[in-house]
A and B are shown apart, each in its own frame.
Chain A
Amino acid sequence: MTATTVEAPPAPPAPARSQRLRDPAFWADWAALVGLIGLTIVFQALNSTFLSYGNVQSILVAAAILIILSIGQTFTIATGGIDLSVASVMTFAACAFGWAFTQGWALPLCMVLAVVTGLVFGAVNGALIAKGRIPDFVVTLGSLSAASGLALILADGKPTTVISPFLLKFSTRGIGLFGWTFLLAVVIAVITHVVLFNTRFGTHVLAAGGSPEAATATGISTARIKIAVYTVSGVLAGLSGILLVARIGASSPAADTTMTLNTVAAVVLGGVSLLGGRATIVGPVLGALVLTVLVNGLTLVGVSQFYQPLAVGIVVVLAALLMRFQK
């Protein structure tokens, strides 16, 4: 192996820790973690119940859906795209669940229907983007509207109560500090992390996002990758639909407009490049936790709900500013 190093310039020495801490790129890479620790310190100082067992437990449960949706979003953003339809598809999947439930379908079938609904929406998004050559933004903006509309039509504009002991346990119980829904989110995060970094598919996602020409030249089908990532996002949105039904004990066609933006915010906070080609799973998961902690903490210290979107906006813009220093 010495032959390779003969002509090589000496590798730059690893910078000392103090020097690294002064480097804005270091902070940009770890923005979400820094934000999480910072917010925790601030909220704990303002209200000592913030880190109580019960509150931490409820933060983690509240974060589950955002974490799962943000993971799906990460895949689309890693290819340089964006899925604006995640929250609407989740809502539609929840309504499909509610509809099947009132039709008397067995619970597992209702769940399958919700996931399949998400899958179909995602696959159609991906196919229109890849084969129809329509920009990601436009296609998913269209399906945002289509999915919300379908949810309203299917549910006839009204929420459907879903009474299921299983779903109730699923959303309220867990192992110690960790609710089942949060644990599910963690399992999904672990699986998708392995997929992104330890499979050919994951490498091809990053390649297609980083340089579509280079990926194509090596024989990677960027169209197939696009379809796959939107399908992943759709499946996770469908799954989130189930969690949504479990959490509120009903399926409601009411659109959740901030959720999609929060997934993008979580991904950006997580240090994932909106240009594609660079992504992690840990980052967006931490990003989703930051946003959840922010909302929980503001509520806890008694800040009016009206300030929450503003606070989220400020945090995201700050994170985006920090990203400019990324290597």
Chain B
Amino acid sequence: MTATTVTHDLVSVENVSLSFGSVRALRDVSLTLQPGEITALVGDNGAGKSTLVRCLSGIHRPDDGTVRFDGQPAHFSTPEDARNAGIETVHQNLALVEDLTVWQNLFLNREIVHGFGPLAILDKRAMKREAQRMVSTLAVNVPSVTSTVRRLSGGQRQAVSICRAAGFSSKLVIMDEPTAALGVQETERVEKLITKLREDGHAVLLISHNFAQVMRLADHVWVMRAGRCVAGRRIAQTTGEEIVALITGAQQS
């Protein structure tokens, strides 16, 4: 490691472990994310990437170890806590509600309302208008914010998820295999969105199986194998072959 980490880490995961019954999904994982960077997380299926992401986004709580966010110890017990702290996640299984509209999904649990408490009434007009703006600033290809998500293609859905994650002044956007289910053109558009997030000052944690994509987009890469984080590299100082070797275990660290 070069000694360039004068700025503080945006996220630091320290010795985190998590088991599901007898499955040890995470074993003593430590890694850091830098602000304003795209950090890639790679590893075979079942390596524990999604589980780590769920620890960061408040779905799981580590059995052991600590997560620091923005210098503070982060004890997220619900996804709400993580979102309030500024961590938005685009989950692998596309966390959108199919029968709700695009604008409803964009504002899910962040609704704009008139009035207070239990008598608050949704301000649909404001949400539609704002949704339109969110969608258009990302130049996302979505037919209409009033159409239901069910009617959208895979790429359009991914765009909506990313749009939601990028809104609400998030500091970190986590994306779990955002292009895995997409065609070539859609992948290209989503990659543009990811670089745009970095330009706009968001840090991004990108999980991907696509090494070319990782080399193209990321600033740093962490490699996971069988629940452990086995290596970290600056993208400028590594190659696709080395990453593959680290993932398979042909190269140890």
Bitwise, A1-30 to B at CB < 8 A (1) or not (0) is 101101111010000000000000000000
Contact B89 A217 (CB under 8 A): yes
Contact A278 B139 (CB under 8 A): no
Q: Enumerate chain A residues within 8 angstroms of B94, measured Cβ to Cβ.
A: 214
How many Å lie between the Cα of A194 and that of B83 in the bound state?
28
Contact B97 A199 (CB under 8 A): no
Bitwise, A210-228 to B at CB < 8 A (1) or not (0) is 1101111111110000000
Closest Cβ–Cβ distance, residue B20 to chain A (whole Å): 16
How many Å lie between the Cα of A44 and that of B161 in the bound state?
53
Within 8 A of A (CB), among B72-129: 78-83, 89, 91, 93-100, 104, 108-111, 113, 118, 120-122, 124
B57: CB under 8 A from chain A? yes
Contact A217/B113 with A206-B100, A207-B108 known, Cβ cut-off 8 Å: no
Q: Enumerate chain B residues within 8 angstroms of A48, measured Cβ to Cβ.
A: none
Contact A8 B143 (CB under 8 A): yes
Contact A277 B111 (CB under 8 A): no
When C-beta atoms are compared, the residue in chain A nearest to B79 turns out to be: A219
When C-beta atoms are compared, the residue in chain B nearest to A212 turns out to be: B97
Contact A277 B141 (CB under 8 A): no
Contact A4 B140 (CB under 8 A): yes
Q: Enumerate chain A residues within 8 angstroms of B135, measured Cβ to Cβ.
A: 4
Contact A211/B120 with A3-B136, A8-B143, A220-B108 known, Cβ cut-off 8 Å: no
B193: CB under 8 A from chain A? no
A203: CB under 8 A from chain B? yes
Q: Enumerate chain A residues within 8 angstroms of B89, measured Cβ to Cβ.
A: 217
B213: CB under 8 A from chain A? no
Contact B111 A203 (CB under 8 A): yes
When C-beta atoms are compared, the residue in chain B nearest to A214 turns out to be: B95
Query: Which residues of A approach B to under 8 Å, CB–CB?
Result: 1, 3-4, 6-9, 11, 194, 198-201, 203-204, 206-207, 210-211, 213-221, 277-278
What are 27 contact pairs spanning A and B, CB under 8 A?
A1-B136, A4-B132, A4-B135, A4-B139, A8-B142, A8-B143, A9-B143, A198-B121, A199-B113, A199-B118, A200-B111, A200-B120, A203-B108, A206-B99, A207-B97, A210-B97, A211-B96, A214-B94, A214-B96, A214-B97, A214-B108, A217-B79, A217-B89, A217-B91, A219-B81, A220-B108, A278-B99
